[in-house]
Amino acid sequence: MSPSIFNYETSLKKCAQGDRRALMQLYEQEAPRLLAVVLRILQNRPLAEDVVHDAFIKIWQNAQQYHSELGSARGWIYTLTRNLALNALKYSHRQVLFEPEFLLDLCDHHAIENEHQKDNVETLVNDPLAQASLNRCLDHLEPQRKLCVLHAYVDGYTQDEIATLLDKPLGTVKSWIKRSLNALKECLQ
């Protein structure tokens, strides 16, 4: 069943009433997509599977807390799951790896203007030399600025979370990220 046909709100209401079949249908509908989202954040399949499992337990236990006036049921499910993934990431002390998706994310945030540039990005993503160039460009950033970029685009932290984590003003973090992305873009060209 496609996400546009599946009734997430009804499913959550049934879960709140103790309908296990509704939870199973919700799991069958969303588990693969949720796993993909969590895996992208954590870069660790066993941990991502645990987080998705925990998310469905939390959905089951907290379905009555969902209120449609606060947003879509599907959005509530994804927010709950993403928050669990970010908490797992925070406490897993995993080593940051530079994956090809990082380069795509980085370039997406710069609103690539034309298809020629997009073709160049796709070529770079599949090229180990391009990944080495990205690592080299990252190494040219000041340590705290590099950390801000990695927290934002690899770890999935919000700018508010980064400001808290680094004990820096939010405006400073925003400025560092923006300038660092511009420096990376320039370095990669």
Domains of the chain: 8-92 (1.10.1740.10), 100-188 (1.10.10.10)
> pTM for the complete prediction?
0.49
Residue 88, C-beta contacts closer than 8 angstroms, at least 6 positions apart: 42, 47, 50, 51
Residue-level pLDDT at 20: 92
**Sign of CA pseudo-dihedral 54, 56, 61, 67:** positive
Q: pLDDT tens, 39-77?
A: 988 888 888 998 999 999 999 999 999 988 878 999 999
**Sign of CA pseudo-dihedral 176, 182, 187, 188:** positive
Tell me the C-alpha distance between 153 and 38, whole Å: 14
Q: Cβ distance 15 to 60 under 8 Å?
A: yes
Q: pLDDT tens, 10-32?
A: 999 999 999 999 999 999 999 99
Q: Assign 127 a pLDDT band (cuts: 50, 70, 90).
A: low
Q: pLDDT tens, 78-96?
A: 999 999 998 888 776 544 4
